[in-house]
Homo-oligomer: A and B are copies of this chain.
Amino acid sequence: MCSRTSPRTSRTGRPRSTEADAAILEATRAALVELGWSKLTMGDVATRAGVAKTTLYRRWANKSELVVDAVAVLFDELELPDLGSLRADIEHVVLQFAALLERPETKTALMAVVAESTRDEPLRERIRCSIVDRQKRLVLDGRRRAQLRGELPVDRDPVTVEATDGLIFDVIAGAVVHRALVSAEPVDADWVGRLSALLVGGLGAVAAAP
């Protein structure tokens, strides 16, 4: 799963233009900013990229897959520098993620492709590989680091570990997304502080009495 090996194995014929690839993804992000998801059209993206519509369809089956790829790269910016404590790490990553969600291209695109993916298994897979997994590793790193610091106990059961990692991921990402897009209220320092306190407290309590 999440195979990175491109399906292109043909050795003959004119090779695909890598410049076109880049131009298309860039144009897609620009169109998302200007028009939003629902008014973005394949034809417009093609025009912006200085490329024919067929060149888009040769690479992506539909608008959703194109947008996932266009947005995915933005999630590479997320980083987790060691700030000395679990709570500081959490606050930092939440703020980073919130900043990403404030960008117009992600704000309008993320929920749209998730909505689309509820009826499109290949798209769901693509989202998992391109977006979800890139975020999940941050939780992993943060947890390991907190264990090294002694802030969290070292759990030997891999099932429990994975379940807790997944839970924390869904709670953090879900809360930020819900706050930003559904409740439509700002993810500010105060809110982030409360969330971090809740999580650190909760993790501590759970660790103390499983």
Residues of A bordering B, CB below 8 Å: 36-38, 107-112, 114-119, 124, 127-128, 132, 163-164, 166-167, 169-171, 173-179, 181-185, 190-191, 194-195, 197-206, 209
Would you call A118 and B175 a contact (CB within 8 A)? no
* A181 in contact with B118 given A203-B198, A204-B205, A205-B201 (CB within 8 Å): yes
B residues in contact with A112, CB < 8 Å: 111-112, 115-116
- How many copies make up the complex? 4
Would you call B198 and A167 a contact (CB within 8 A)? yes
Shortest distance from the beta carbon of A98 to any chain B beta carbon, whole Å: 12
User: Measured between alpha carbons, how far is A204 from B170 in the docked complex, in Å?
Assistant: 21
Show 18 residue pairs from A and B whose CB-CB distance is below 8 angstroms, ordered by the A residue: A36-B118, A109-B115, A111-B114, A112-B112, A114-B181, A114-B182, A118-B181, A124-B184, A132-B183, A163-B194, A164-B194, A166-B179, A171-B175, A171-B195, A177-B177, A198-B205, A198-B206, A202-B203
